[in-house]
């Protein structure tokens, strides 16, 4: 499937059509939220992006002591994702309110905004996709800040170049990495949350999965042009890959590659599923513990961080909150 031509998510959709849709909905990078008449953290109570088709608030229990730690841990991930997309589509997080990044740590390794034709294969449709991801991730930040209230942690120092300087050649791969980590982090966190908080987190997980699936497909389609493949993140990761033949596809992905990270080749002993699902169970997304998540985020493109590490990689000063060490 990989080729030297960019394949879009919807081959029938033209750039003109997409731009008209985007204009009609007024969902450009700097007007996503203001077009809905929302400002500041109040938006979190009115709309959890990707969590409800209406503006009806979702009932979310005030986080207790243990849940506060979990939700703040997830907030660190949302800061990282939102910050990445903010630079890929414009500049540092600016909307809907500067309060989103009050007391923020330093941001280093920030990439220049992507533009159509930079590199040559970059399409308007891909940039539109990244704009929508920015909208979602900023609203996840707003939602978690609203739930946590005064105990929400500020954005930590972030090094966006932890896995190498981000350019048009590897931006999709790095974004894929962070979305896959987000999916598995939420999957692992839900068990520690109360019903309403788990419901909210499950809806956010769904949006992270939308993002991950789109990026994994684009990575496969453009593996020889835009998306420089990264090494597998750890023993759980299935890197995006076209399986190559109908017979291989029919038998399902393997640990070495697949469209989605749900292979049935058996779960490593460090997987949360190893004790809850039969060996080789297929069709299930992985979950990661907080230590497994931090081992990736504190590590590099070639090595995981080791037990006891409390900073490094994307978070040079560590994450904020109570859960900070592998």
pLDDT reported for residue 277: 58
The answer to whether residues 146 and 210 touch, using CB atoms and an 8 Å cutoff, is no
Q: Within a 10 A sphere around the Cβ of 238, how many other Cβ atoms?
A: 22
pLDDT reported for residue 168: 86
The answer to whether residues 169 and 119 touch, using CB atoms and an 8 Å cutoff, is yes
Domains, the chain, ordered by start: 28-297 (1.20.1260.10)
Residues forming beta bridges with residue 118, ordered by sequence position: 115
What pLDDT digit, counting tens, does each position of 267-303 carry?
A: 555 555 556 655 556 677 778 889 989 999 999 888 8
Q: Identify the three-state secondary structure at position 204.
A: helix
- Summary mean pLDDT of the chain: 74
The CA distance from 229 to 23, in Å, is 33
Q: Within a 10 A sphere around the Cβ of 133, how many other Cβ atoms?
A: 24
Q: Identify the three-state secondary structure at position 170.
A: coil
pLDDT reported for residue 100: 87
The CA distance from 177 to 122, in Å, is 19
Sign, Cα dihedral of 212, 218, 220, 222: negative
What pLDDT digit, counting tens, does each position of 48-57 carry?
A: 333 322 223 2
What pLDDT digit, counting tens, does each position of 192-219 carry?
A: 888 888 999 999 999 999 999 899 888 8
pLDDT reported for residue 11: 38
pLDDT reported for residue 108: 96
> 3-state SS of the chain: helix, strand, coil percent to 5?
45, 5, 55
Q: Identify the three-state secondary structure at position 258.
A: strand
């Amino acid at each position: 499937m990989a080729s030297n031509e960019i394949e879009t998510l919807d081959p029938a959709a033209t750039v003109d059509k997409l731009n008209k849709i985007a204009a009609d909905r007024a969902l450009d990078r700097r007007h996503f939220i203001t077009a809905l008449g929302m400002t500041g953290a109040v938006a979190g109570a009115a709309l959890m992006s990707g969590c409800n088709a209406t503006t009806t608030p979702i009932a979310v229990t005030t986080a207790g002591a243990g849940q506060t730690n979990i939700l703040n841990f997830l907030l660190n991930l949302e800061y990282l994702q939102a910050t990445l997309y903010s630079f890929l589509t414009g500049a540092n997080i600016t909307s809907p309110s500067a309060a989103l990044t009050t007391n923020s740590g330093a941001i280093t390794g920030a990439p220049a905004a992507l533009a159509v034709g930079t590199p040559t294969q970059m399409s308007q449709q891909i940039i539109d996709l990244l704009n929508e991801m920015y909208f979602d991730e900023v609203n996840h930040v707003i939602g978690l800040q609203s739930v946590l209230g005064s105990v929400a942690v500020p954005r930590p120092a972030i090094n966006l170049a932890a896995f190498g300087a981000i350019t048009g050649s590897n931006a999709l791969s790095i974004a894929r990495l962070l979305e896959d980590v987000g999916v598995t982090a939420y999957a692992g966190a839900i068990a520690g949350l109360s019903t309403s908080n788990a419901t909210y987190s499950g809806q956010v997980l769904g949006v992270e999965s939308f993002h991950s699936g789109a990026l994994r497909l684009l990575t496969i389609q453009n593996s020889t042009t835009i998306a420089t493949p990264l090494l597998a993140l750890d023993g759980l990761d299935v890197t995006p890959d076209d399986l190559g033949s109908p017979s291989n596809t029919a038998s399902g992905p393997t640990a070495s590659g697949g469209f989605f990270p749900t292979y049935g080749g058996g779960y490593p002993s460090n997987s949360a599923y190893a004790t809850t699902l039969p060996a080789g169970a297929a069709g299930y997304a992985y979950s990661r513990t907080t230590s497994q998540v931090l081992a990736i985020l504190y590590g590099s493109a070639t090595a995981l961080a080791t037990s006891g590490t409390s900073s490094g990689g994307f978070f040079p000063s560590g994450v904020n909150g109570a859960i900070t060490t592998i």
